[in-house]
């Protein structure tokens, strides 16, 4: 019961309101005195609390000649009201925050720190959903697997290029890094870079190693790290080739990679 009271408080109810309503759910059509006794709410407060719940439409009040009794509305109806209120608040908050965020995006370029494994993964997922033209990435298997479904989803809409390490069956347009002594060393740090439309980027160590990443809209950071991905891809492709037309091939491959 304590957990339920705490959850109702998170939805905006006071402790006494939550206790009074749950007491009436368990036993309805009772007097204020009985509600006070069953819920532990002081008798001096119970009438005010019940009046508030009646005003909110969560409790029904029945006045008879000899006694006034109270009952809760059906739980199904209560949950429906809570859901509608939550959805209304969520929509309002979402609209207002998105307006504030659009104003913030007009500010100077920045680099910000992001902490927490799930927070980092969630941010990557939100970036992937925003992609309109291209996605460039460099990832070891831990991060790629956490985002596999999202990457496959965005690859159906926009160009996805980059390189992965130790990933089985990545998106066909993504290169696979060759295995080397360096990549096989257990001490080698696992990193990731994810760039969206050349406008926003997140990069850092894979969350399983260090739960810290950096997000940026700074064009210098984005250019340098996108070019780092390209050179990594290029070297791996060059090592698989042996011809005399490398310059022409490199130019063609670069244009395709950057979707130019």
- What confidence tens digit (pLDDT) does each residue in 193-211 have? 999 999 999 999 876 666 8
Is the pTM value of this prediction over 0.75? Answer: no
**Greater pLDDT, 253 or 51:** 51
Distance CA 216, CA 116 (A): 17
Q: Where in the chain is the domain with CATH 1.10.10.10?
A: 2-73
Q: Name the CATH architecture for the domain at 108-257.
A: 2-Layer Sandwich (3.30)
pLDDT band at 238 (very low <50, low <70, confident <90, very high): confident
Distance CA 190, CA 208 (A): 9
Q: Which of 185, 186, 180, 187 lies closest to 232 in space, CA to CA?
A: 180
Locate 124 and state its tokens: 């990557």
| Mean pLDDT, residues 153-176 taken together | 94
Looking at 109-123, 146-160, 244-258, which range is the least confident one?
Answer: 244-258
Distance CA 70, CA 31 (A): 6
12: left (phi over 0), alpha (psi -120 to 50) or beta: left
Q: Could you count the other beta carbons within 10 Å of the beta carbon of residue 24? A: 24
Phi, psi dihedrals of residue 89, rounded to the nearest 5°: -65, -40
Residue pair 161/136 in contact (Cβ under 8 Å)? The answer is: yes
How much is the pLDDT for 208?
66
Distance CA 97, CA 258 (A): 32
Q: Where in the chain is the domain with CATH 3.30.870.10?
A: 108-257
pLDDT at 56 over 90: no
Which option is the CATH number for 2-73: 2.30.110.10, 1.10.10.10, 1.10.630.10, 3.40.50.620? Answer: 1.10.10.10
Q: 3-state secondary structure string, 163-174?
A: EEECCCCCCCCC
Counting residues of the chain whose pLDDT is more than 70, the rounded percentage is: 92
Q: Could you count the other beta carbons within 10 Å of the beta carbon of residue 82? A: 15
Looking at 26-30, 181-185, 224-228, which range is the least confident one?
Answer: 181-185
pLDDT band at 106 (very low <50, low <70, confident <90, very high): low
């Amino acid at each position: 019961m304590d957990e339920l009271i705490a959850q109702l408080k998170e939805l905006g109810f006071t402790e006494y309101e939550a206790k009074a309503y749950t007491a009436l759910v368990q036993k309805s059509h009772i007097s204020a005195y009985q509600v006070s006794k069953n819920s532990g709410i002081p008798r001096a407060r119970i009438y005010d609390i019940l009046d508030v719940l009646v005003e909110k439409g969560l409790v029904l009040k029945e006045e008879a000649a000899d006694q006034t009794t109270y009952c809760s509305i059906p739980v199904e109806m209560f949950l429906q009201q809570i859901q509608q209120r939550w959805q209304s608040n969520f929509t309002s908050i979402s609209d207002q925050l998105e307006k504030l965020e659009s104003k913030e995006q007009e500010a100077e370029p920045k680099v910000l720190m992001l902490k927490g494994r799930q927070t980092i993964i969630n941010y990557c997922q939100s970036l992937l959903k925003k992609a309109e033209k291209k996605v460039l990435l460099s990832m070891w298997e831990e991060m790629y697997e956490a985002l596999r479904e999202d990457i496959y989803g965005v690859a159906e809409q926009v160009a996805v290029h980059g390189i992965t390490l130790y990933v089985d069956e990545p998106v066909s347009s993504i290169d696979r890094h060759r295995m080397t002594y360096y990549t096989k060393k257990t001490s080698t740090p696992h990193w990731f870079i994810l760039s969206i439309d050349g406008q926003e980027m997140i990069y850092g160590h894979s969350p399983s190693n260090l739960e810290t990443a950096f997000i940026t809209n700074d064009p210098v950071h984005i250019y340098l790290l996108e070019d780092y991905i390209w050179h990594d891809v290029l070297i791996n492709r060059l090592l698989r080739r042996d011809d005399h037309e490398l310059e022409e091939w490199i130019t063609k491959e670069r244009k395709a990679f950057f979707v130019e």
